[in-house]
Amino acid sequence: MADERFTKPKSIGNKFLNIKCKDCGNEQVTYTKISSTVVCNICGATLARPTGGTFELAAEIMGDKQ
């Protein structure tokens, strides 16, 4: 099931990131290594999904968590 929304960030390492939902603009924090799907807290869109190691992302990366 190919989903063009998802991209795999390159050499991002293991850290917490602020990401922004492309659907509603909500910002929330996720870790780069996840074991289950991350959904938007506001609209429920899928923001990230696990791929064995680093996640694939369907949201905008806003930067490292402060």
Question: Which residues lie near Zn ion (CB under 5 A)?
Answer: 21, 23-24, 26, 40, 42-43, 45
Name the residue nearer to Zn ion (CB basis): 60 or 64: 60
Nearest approach, Cβ of residue 28 and Zn ion (Å): 9
Q: What's the distance, Cα to Cα, between the start and end of the chain in Å?
A: 35
Nearest approach, Cβ of residue 27 and Zn ion (Å): 10
13 three-class SS: coil
- List of residues 6+ apart from 53 with CB closer than 8 A: 33
The position carrying tokens 């099931």 is 1
Nearest approach, Cβ of residue 32 and Zn ion (Å): 19
Name the residue nearer to Zn ion (CB basis): 12 or 45: 45
